[in-house]
Structure 1
Amino acid sequence: MRNQPQIILPCLPYIILSIQSILAIDFVYNSFNSSSISLYGNATIESNILTLTNDTSFSIGRALYPSKIVTKQENSSHVIPFSTSFIFAMAPNKEYRPGIEGTESSQNLGLLNLTNNGDPDNHLFGVEFDVFKNEEFKDISDNHVGLDINSLVSEVAHDAGYWPDDDQAFIPLKMNSGKIYQVWIDYADFQINVTMAPVGIIRPKRPLLNVQLNLSQVFQDEMYVGFTSATGQLVQSHKILAWSFSNTNFSLSDALITRGLPSFELPKDPIFKEKGFIAGMTVGLFIILLVGSLVSVYLIKNTQRRKREREEMEDWELEYWPHRISYQEIDAATKSFSDENVIGIGGNGKVYRGIMPGGEAEVAVKRISHQNSEGVREFLSEISSLGRLKHRNLVGLRGWCKKERGSFILVYDYMENGSLDKRILGL
């Protein structure tokens, strides 16, 4: 018993070239009506499309060719070759959730039950298109095609898909996506081939399943041919859009219409409902909030730092020219006030030659002692005069620094030929 709806060809016929014309059968259905096919269970015809199952759980739908088909040569066990092709779609239900392990199985493809499963008296041959992995029947995956003989345990199975060409990689096909696929099934010379591909694609040369198989003990002289399907707890609609069968013409499948077919794919959710979009927006919003928080912290700290600096300023700093230069920059420019950089000595301190970090400017640095009132007055005098005045004949004051418990420092533009010494120290 299968938990997911299935499409299966329960029994299929066979022919040899010496067969009488009364045994020949060929038909093509590019649309369906109640007079052309027999319906059972929940199977219906909707807009000329054969619909085997609907959104009813634990239900069965079956559609068969109205009469039995002769499958063996007269007075012989030899099975007549046959070829069939059909176009199908598995239309997913909006609430469908594939691959739920452990769900109880349903109606055994609408064909068998646990009592007769595997019984050789079933005389059943089917090709299953299964979208549920049922451990009970040793399914290989939740999206596979298998050959069944009198049992729901497949003789051979393969994941659904196709090879575009012999030397190209296998392309998997998700059967319960609502997309439309075409299937070809041929039997001749004890060889069964099952091929599938998206509708409209030329039949791939390499079949999905290729198996040596003698159906003489499976088939009776006359058999029904058709489709059966079932739903379990998880439901979806199985639709047959076209079907051909022949035991005389293996190219009859070319008569199936493959263009202008309806779509059964569920409409995609708006982008704002898609998981990827939601995840992306969540991550993006988190990053924006994080960056915003970091910027806010930086601005707050920067504002607090400036506030502290202003609070630390003395009245004379605000009155004159508060262009501070950090002690670290001055220390680096003068190589820690190295004696080799001394270019002059005055009563209140030394003058050093230096290069500001980055090599941006050559400067003269005057270090004034903080221990006597004369030094403080000289420091304030320089700031109040040179700090406010700009003239080509005056030495340019770049800035100043007041080192705690140390000294006042003035930074000037450096002038060549000793003129700086004379202007600063009066030498």
Structure 2
Amino acid sequence: MKKLIHRLILATIFTAHLTSAVDFLFNGFDDSAVSYYGNATLDSRILSLTGDAGFEIGRALYPSKIPTKDPNTSLVLPFSTSFIFAMAPFAGRLAGHGMVFLFVPYAGIDDGIESASSQNLGFLNFSNNGDPNNHVFGVEFDVFRNQEFDDINANHVGIDVNSLTSLNSSEAGYWSAGNSFEQLDLNNGRTYQVWIDYTDGVLSVTMAPVGVTRPRQPLLNVSIDLSQVLEDQMYVGFTASTGNMTQSHKILAWSYSNTNFSLSEGLITAGLPSFELPETPFYRTRGFIAGLTAGVLILGVVCCANVFLFVRKSRRERREREEMEDWEMEYWPHRLSYQEIDSATKGFADENVIGIGGNGKVYRGVLNGGLEVAVKRISHENAEGMRAFLAEISSLGRVKHRNLVGLRGWCKKEKGSLILVYDFMENGSLDQRVFECDVSKMLGFENRIRVLREVASGILYLHEGWESKVLHRDIKASNVLLDRDMNARLGDFGLARMHDHDKAAGTTQVVGTIGYLAPEVVKTGRASTQADVFGYGALILEVMCGRRPIEAGKPPLVDWVWEMFRRGELVNVVDARLRGEVEAEEAERVLQLGLVCAHPDSKARPTMRQVVKVFEGRNEVEGEGEDMSVYLLEKMRNGEVFPMHLGNGFGLHPTLDEIRQGMSSTMSLSWSDITVVEGR
């Protein structure tokens, strides 16, 4: 009887499966084969998801939804798909990011879901990452190690369910017939074939270079229940993106079937184009030499003169490269030509100036391709500017996080300017949205808290998320920039320092901005992550109060807020312009967090990881379940917060005069060792 029932169930599933059959095979594409969105294009029957532009998304989907579940049992139908792809780098550019084969419940690119996902493979963005209501499933081919999503390395294949944190992942490669693992470089321009099969609750992913017989052992073989992920019908296709790094993501052929697992054998793997960059420089190829010879014969003396100039220029460039300092060679991939930057800013025209800093002017520019950038120009003769320049390219030039300003490139003009090129932040700096601004441009209560949360995420990445620990040392509202979508990005790494996670910072130079300097930095000159936490605490208070840390005729902001907390009137410090929209409990929670971060005792401050936990809804500071207000009150009872002035003679916010007066008794440094910024 049981066998009969089992056979009836199988027969029912099989019958339903036949009515839901979907089979297609594309050896090359035309407009009817796929629907493409964003920056995806079709050229010579090859589908390109992205091109040579930063921060773009491209998506291509089968034109209609396909059934993914049995209508009678709601079980996920088995399927098999195979495709041939290439991630093609561009000469002289840093390659990235990756691509995803995906199932998605809607066509196109949803503005609410992917509008900010250009650095997240075009799959999800940070606001909805991990949401089970996404109903998206994908297999990612990623060429950047994003520690936010626990990526295993910068060349991996992963299985993603409603999240960019992969359920399972592996180094890209395949198992040869001899049972040895052969690693594959995903973004070298070579063409690879992928096979993805799902049956009986098991997903297998296999890949190999085009032309290699399908390996018997899959790269990934994972038990996974997709019944709660996939809807009854889904769109299927590909998505990819670029960020600061760019490359082309190309699909050359594709098959899909939920009835015939051998359909992929029909993909044509011979005679496909190659997208690998030539190893031989162009000027050494036979074509160039032949053209040069013909040109010399035709143009005579004119071409001889051009060749002479070309050789002299080449020798000069070669000599310059030989004379390059070590740091220039290390950061060579980010280098841009002066001519490109000069053209982008229209010769550094005055009408393109968007800001003036301590080390030089900042210009708005447009690079080739229409990409807007911010260009900081620093005098080569400015010693402090040179230190800031090196700090920027050595720290910001290599870190990547959605809440850090992206450094697109740099240029050092011989005996001239030092130039840094950043992503352009359309909405300016945070201080322009908090202080002395029109009500129409002012950030509201909820947006201020969101911005503070995003800045905390960026600082946590600097402290813990990268291979080295990065100390920013100048956290303040004017160094927080807002992009087109009003997302916060911490910038200006001119004072930043890097060191190993297991070592203390070696510098003993007081740097920073008055009003944000931690007391122990003034006393010892030694920076630390806790000094950054103090600066972040001051940032919280100034954003919530609408007051700068130091203002003429007023007590220092941190001192004033501590006093209002002691009097039980903390909510009254909130920016008066926000009173109508303030949630008192939330405001007090964030202000208390700011006070804990700006505590005069560095050991009493939380870590940035604890700060981020508070924004995630966990109110703990030191121990499990220890509420901030309880923590602060206990510190006050023990006399650890008041009186305001500490034993070193400085207040919570030392002024420039206090630093000068305290130098001889508290530090073994001279006044020339101090680099501080007065005012804003």
Q: Which amino acid aligns with 2:134?
A: N
Q: Deviations for 1:258-283, whole angstroms, at most 9, x for unmatched residues? A: 0000010011134999xxxx9xxx9x
Q: Which amino acid aligns with 2:225?
A: N
Q: Deviations for 1:24-47, whole angstroms, at most 9, x for unmatched residues? A: 010000010111210100001110
Q: Which amino acid aligns with 2:259?
A: T
**What is the deviation of 1:99?**
8.7
Q: Residue 170 of structure 2 aligns with which residue?
A: 158
Distance in 2 of aligned mates of 1:258 and 1:233: 32
Q: Residue 262 of structure 2 aligns with which residue?
A: 251
**What is the deviation of 1:174?**
0.2
Out of 39, 43, 50, the residue aligned to residue 40 of structure 2 is 43
Structure showing greater relative contact order (alpha-carbon pairs closer than 8 Å, 6 or more residues apart): 1
Distance in 1 of aligned mates of 2:157 and 2:93: 20
Out of 80, 85, 88, the residue aligned to residue 88 of structure 1 is 85
Q: Is the counterpart of residue 222 in structure 1 residue 233 in structure 2?
A: yes
Q: Which amino acid aligns with 1:26?
A: D
Distance in 2 of aligned mates of 1:170 and 1:82: 26
Out of 29, 33, 42, the residue aligned to residue 30 of structure 2 is 33
Q: Is the counterpart of residue 21 in structure 1 residue 18 in structure 2?
A: yes
Q: Which amino acid aligns with 2:275?
A: F
Q: Is the 8 A contact 2:96 2:247 kept in 1?
A: no
Q: Counterparts of 1:289-308 in structure 2 under 5 Å?
A: none
Out of 209, 223, 231, the residue aligned to residue 220 of structure 2 is 209
Q: Deviations for 1:262-305, whole angstroms, at most 9, x for unmatched residues? A: 010011134999xxxx9xxx9xxxxxxxxxxxxxxxxxxxxxxx
Q: Is the 8 A contact 1:16 1:81 kept in 2?
A: no
TM-score scaled to structure 1, two decimals?
Answer: 0.58
**What is the deviation of 1:107?**
3.5
Q: Which amino acid aligns with 2:56?
A: S
Q: Deviations for 1:41-75, whole angstroms, at most 9, x for unmatched residues? A: 00011100011000011000000000001111113
Q: Is the counterpart of residue 178 in structure 1 residue 189 in structure 2?
A: yes
Q: Is the counterpart of residue 71 in structure 1 residue 71 in structure 2?
A: no
Q: Counterparts of 1:264-413 in structure 2 under 5 Å?
A: 264-270=275-281
Q: Which amino acid aligns with 2:74?
A: S
Q: Is the 8 A contact 1:71 1:221 kept in 2?
A: yes
Report which of the two has the higher share of helix.
2
Q: Which amino acid aligns with 1:204?
A: P
Distance in 2 of aligned mates of 1:193 and 1:113: 26
Cα-Cα RMSD: 2.2
Q: Which runs of 5+ in 1 are unaligned?
A: 1-14, 283-427
Structure-2 change in CA distance of 1:233 and 1:168 (3 Å): same
**What is the deviation of 1:105?**
8.3
Q: Deviations for 1:152-191, whole angstroms, at most 9, x for unmatched residues? A: 00000000000112x4210000010000000000000000
Q: Is the counterpart of residue 53 in structure 1 residue 65 in structure 2?
A: no
Distance in 1 of aligned mates of 2:72 and 2:78: 16
Q: Is the 8 A contact 1:51 1:237 kept in 2?
A: yes
| Helix, strand or coil at the partner of 1:87 | strand
**What is the deviation of 1:113?**
1.1
Out of 132, 141, 144, the residue aligned to residue 132 of structure 1 is 144
**What is the deviation of 1:96?**
2.8
Q: Which amino acid aligns with 1:148?
A: D
Out of 121, 126, 129, the residue aligned to residue 117 of structure 1 is 129
Structure-2 change in CA distance of 1:16 and 1:134 (3 Å): farther
Distance in 2 of aligned mates of 1:45 and 1:168: 38
Distance in 2 of aligned mates of 1:188 and 1:31: 27
Q: Is the 8 A contact 1:85 1:183 kept in 2?
A: yes
Q: Which runs of 5+ in 2 are unaligned?
A: 1-11, 98-115, 285-317, 323-680
Q: Which amino acid aligns with 1:127?
A: V
Q: Is the 8 A contact 1:192 1:210 kept in 2?
A: yes
Q: Is the counterpart of residue 141 in structure 1 residue 153 in structure 2?
A: yes
Distance in 2 of aligned mates of 1:144 and 1:182: 15
Q: Is the 8 A contact 1:83 1:184 kept in 2?
A: yes
**What is the deviation of 1:215?**
0.5
Q: Which amino acid aligns with 1:29?
A: F
How many residues end up aligned between the 2 structures? 257
Distance in 2 of aligned mates of 1:51 and 1:27: 20
Q: Deviations for 1:214-253, whole angstroms, at most 9, x for unmatched residues? A: 1111111011100000001000000000000000000000
Distance in 2 of aligned mates of 1:49 and 1:172: 26
Structure-2 change in CA distance of 1:48 and 1:210 (3 Å): same
Structure-2 change in CA distance of 1:168 and 1:75 (3 Å): closer
Report which of the two has the higher share of strand.
1
Q: Which amino acid aligns with 1:146?
A: G
| Helix, strand or coil at the partner of 1:18 | helix
Q: Is the 8 A contact 1:105 1:134 kept in 2?
A: no
Q: Is the 8 A contact 1:99 1:142 kept in 2?
A: no
Q: Which amino acid aligns with 2:137?
A: F
Q: Residue 6 of structure 1 aligns with which residue?
A: none
Structure-2 change in CA distance of 1:238 and 1:113 (3 Å): same
Q: Decide which structure has the larger Cα Rg and report it.
A: 1
Distance in 2 of aligned mates of 1:20 and 1:193: 21
